[in-house]
Each structure stands twice: as C-alpha cells, then as structure tokens.
Amino acid sequence: MATAGATGDEQWPMWEVFVRASRGLSHVHAGSLHAPDETMALRNARDLYTRRGEGVSIWVVPASEITTSDPGSKEAFFESPAGKNYRHATYYEKSQGVPHL
C-alpha cells in the first residue's frame, strides 16, 4: 500500500465499521469509511457513527480483509434450505411425558 498522500491522488483504504449500541448487544455493521490507518479509522468511525450517542464500542476492519459470499451464487448459497423444514426445531412435535423440554 502506498503512503497516503504520497502521490496526492490515491485513495485512503476503506474500512468497515461495527458499532455496539450497549452492553450485552452484538456489534452491528454501521457503514464504511476511508482512513489512512487503523488508528485514524477508529477516530473517524467515532466522528461518523457515534456522534449522537449511538455506541459504547467500535470495531473497524479493513474492507479488503473481509471475504464475502458471491452475489452471483445466491441460489447455490441461500436457497437450499427452502423446503427443508425439518431443520427448524418447530418442525418437531414435543414427545409426551418428557419433562424440562
């Protein structure tokens, strides 16, 4: 990666931002931003995504480090569970006489 600003026209790398709204909740993807490095990415995330008191914790992840599913293979990836109701717990009837279930 070139030093940010070295040529004057390159873009800062992209970072994905995850914010946890309060204790006990998970970090949720809030959006993305540009920053020259991880320290500045965290500060930019604070300014962009938590200035109205939205969060108690922030993660920033280099967008280039995230492996994503391919939008083109949606069918192979996500349509297989259709019709396979037995994968849900509610598909099954509770057996009689079983306590604590």
Partner 1 sequence: MSAETEPSVTVTDVELDAELTSTGLVASADEAEYALRIGDDSLILAQQLGWWISRAPELEEDLALGNIALDLLGHARNLLHFAGTALGKTEDELAYFRDEHEFRSAWLFEQPNGDFGHTIARGLLTSAFQFELYTQLAESSSPGLAGIAAKSVKEVAYHRDHAVQWTLRLAGGTDESRSRIERALINTWPYLDELFRDDELHERFDAAPRPSALREPVMNVLRQVLAEAELDEPKTSESSGDGRHGHHSTYLGPILAEMQVLARRHPDASW
Residue number, 53 or 97, with CB nearest to partner 1: 53
Alpha helices in the chain (DSSP H): 38-49, 74-78
Please give the residues from 32 up to 51 whose contact with partner 1 meets the rule CB under 8 A: 33-37, 39-40, 43-44, 47-48, 51
6 touches partner 1 (CB under 8 A): yes
Distance separating alpha carbons of residues 92 and 46, to the nearest angstrom: 46
Residues facing residue 84 across a β-bridge? none
The whole-angstrom separation of Cα 68 and Cα 38 is: 21
Nearest distance, CB of residue 4 and partner 1, angstroms? 7
Residues that bind partner 1 (CB under 8 A): 3-6, 12, 33-37, 39-40, 43-44, 47-48, 51
